[in-house]
Chains A and B, each alone.
Chain A
Amino acid sequence: MTMQVEKLMHAVFFIAALVSIIAVALICIFLFANGIPAMREIGFLDFLLGQRWAPMNSPPSFGIFPMIVGSIYVTAGAIIIGVPVGVLTAIFLAKYCPAKLYRVVKPAIQLLAGIPSVVYGFFGLMVIVPFIRTYLGGSGYSILSASILLGIMILPTIIGVSESAIRAVPREYYEGAVALGATHERAVFATVVPAATSGILASIILGVGRAIGETMAVVMVAGNQARVPSSILQGVRTMTTNVVLEMGYAYGLHRGSLIATGVILFVFILMINLLFSVLKRRTNYGS
């Protein structure tokens, strides 16, 4: 009797462990089965490299090149803004912050990660967009607004992963440098930070993943025009926002092309994840 219960529960635990495999399989099957036929119908290259997105025209045209470019611009902007601030803040937390202050600062940064993306989007809509409209011109709905907002949103990701990478560097690196007469800054920046490079890179890649996948905050501030922008003050549409903007009323090939946009986004994310796990495996110091 007891043996049977043991065996039964062993099976139950095993099946529970298989659920995440089943989930990934289902997600892949449903996305690809609905997206790939649409891509084939449009023409793979016409879809990826087509400059014109006009799904309601006749004949319609489904080129998502502007959205791919849009996603890349906005993500690059977020990285340019978020990475320096994030990495330096991580250095502050790991190497400067007194223990008492740390007990306040660390939860504050965790709170930054907990704020919902709609609240960020709303804040961007109310503060960043009008600011840019007033001081830099244009409508304010722009690559720049989205980049600033995403730059703030990826901070907790970058800070968290970078901080643990910096903390994982053996103390002897720092102590050796100081013993040789280096100042605190020189010891940190010339020995500790270089040793943590692959961890910091991993944090940046994770930040890229978050920025490229963010939807709601971007849709509220980026303007969403489906064309290749020529200045950072122009509006832009990303792959994520393309889906969320039009999925509500799309049908037929239009709907298929939106799902295909999701498929391309998914492939981007899979590549980013792969890169991240390769880098993370290299970060271990054997401790």
Chain B
Amino acid sequence: MGARLKFSIETARRYPLSFVLKVLVVGSALLTLGALFFLLAYIIVNGVPHLKPSLFAWKYNTKNVSLVPALLNTLIIVGIPLIVTVPLGVFSAIYLCEYAKKGSKVVEVVRITAETLSGIPSIVYGLFGLLFFVIYLRWGYSILAGSMTLSIMILPLIMRTAEEALLSIPTSLREASFALGAGKLRTVFRIVLPAAIPGILSGVILGIGRIVGETAALIYTAGTVPRIPGSVFSSGRTLAIHLYTLSSEGFHTNEAFATAVVLLIIVLLINALSAGLARRLGGGN
């Protein structure tokens, strides 16, 4: 394969069109990677010098612009949707893979709705969360309203990865379990599900990544109060919203850069985790 990347004047003269295409292909790949590295380097170079201890004070005020409350809110808003959605998504995948009859109409409709959910932009989720959780259920701008909105948002992701994980388990495993006299439920929980856990976990990690970066679905559901919440019914901003408010106010550019660095570090960690998991999964086959 490596030979395909060599550029020689000889071949360029003989096949000019091929040469131009090769330049375009390699150039595009370099452009894509260049954009990524420039973005990362720019934020890190400008942000790291501003990672001051005051940024990590326990309480936020307009002087220290601490990101700790936002960080804690992010953890809570990652946690609740996972608690709600992981069982739901996995159970739903179990139904689709293990219980539903082939060609069932219900399965067809579930697939279509899950695909629809995964295409809905986050601002539409935000609008729905505002109308349903904040106004109709009268939860107000709250951690709970934001969390429930995000629960629906990551449901299709958890469902799809769990389904893929379950489908990849060989049928012989299930047959062996049935042959030993285990019932359907026992087979699912004792044999199929444990084998599918790495796949399910990779979906969970992707879900965490989506929640950490989410802004539009949270502004009008969880709100933007920069405090550690007293209960799930009080408002609180996540790190991503914190970065948005800092940069749109425009008074704290340095702190915004530092916040962006922290956000990027979290995203990098999540990505490394999911890449590591994928490698272990791939290595197992």
Contact = CB atoms under 8 A, between A and B. Distances in A.
A96 B5 contact: yes
Interface stretch (A44-52, A55-63, A85-93, A226-234): A85-93
B131 A91 contact: no
Given A107-B275, A126-B42, A186 B18 contact: yes
A178 B43 CA distance: 45
B95 A266 contact: no
Interface in B194-228: 209, 212-216, 219-220
B1 A99 contact: yes
B249 to A, nearest CB: 12
B173 interface: no
A54 interface: no
Contacts of B35: 112, 152, 155
A147 interface: no
A244 B110 contact: no
A219 B264 CA distance: 20
A138 interface: no
Interface centre among A10, A18, A116, A213 (most CB of B within 10 A): A116
Nearest to B242: A118
Interface in B103-139: 106-107, 109-110, 113-117, 119-128, 130-132, 136
A98 interface: yes
A262 B123 contact: yes
A115 interface: yes
B28 A92 contact: yes
Q: Which of B25, B125, B263 has the largest count of A CB atoms less than 10 A from its CB?
A: B25
Interface stretch (B50-58, B59-67, B75-83, B152-160): B152-160
A116 B4 contact: no
B161 interface: no
Contact of B267 (A10, A27, A88, A115): A115
Highest count of chain B CB atoms <10 Å: which of A18, A20, A189, A215: A20
Interface in A4-52: 5-6, 9-10, 12-14, 16-21, 23-24, 26-27, 30-31, 34
A116 B5 contact: no
Contacts of A259: 127, 131
A27 B35 CA distance: 36
Contacts of B248: 220
How many chain A residues sit at the interface, stated as a range, is 35 or more
A16 B113 contact: no
A240 B123 contact: yes
Contact of A247 (B43, B113, B121, B220): B220
A180 to B, nearest CB: 14
B176 interface: no
A252 interface: no
A213 B117 contact: no
A159 interface: yes
A177 interface: no
B96 A27 contact: no
Given A84-B28, A183-B15, A269-B120, A216 B267 contact: no
A117 interface: yes
A31 B124 contact: yes
Nearest to A262: B127
Contacts of B256: 122
B240 interface: yes
A85 B120 CA distance: 25
Given A23-B155, A121-B247, A216-B244, A12 B29 contact: no
A273 B244 CA distance: 29
Given A96-B26, A119-B263, A119-B264, A21 B216 contact: no
B161 to A, nearest CB: 14
Contact of B260 (A16, A122, A184, A216): A122
Give me the 10 closest cross-chain CB pairs, A-B, nearest first. A213-B121, A116-B213, A88-B28, A16-B91, A185-B18, A13-B95, A92-B29, A17-B95, A215-B216, A16-B92
Given A184-B22, A240-B216, A277-B115, 7 more contacts: A6-B185, A14-B95, A21-B113, A27-B120, A31-B124, A118-B213, A213-B120
25 contacts: A6-B185, A16-B91, A19-B92, A20-B110, A20-B113, A20-B156, A23-B113, A24-B113, A86-B32, A96-B4, A105-B33, A111-B36, A118-B215, A121-B247, A127-B42, A155-B35, A184-B4, A184-B22, A185-B17, A185-B19, A213-B123, A213-B124, A220-B247, A243-B126, A247-B220
Interface of A: 2, 5-6, 9-10, 12-14, 16-21, 23-24, 26-27, 30-31, 34, 84-86, 88-89, 91-93, 95-99, 105, 107-112, 114-123, 125-127, 152, 155, 159, 183-186, 188-189, 209, 212-216, 220, 240, 243-244, 247-248, 259, 262, 265-266, 269-270, 272-273, 276-277
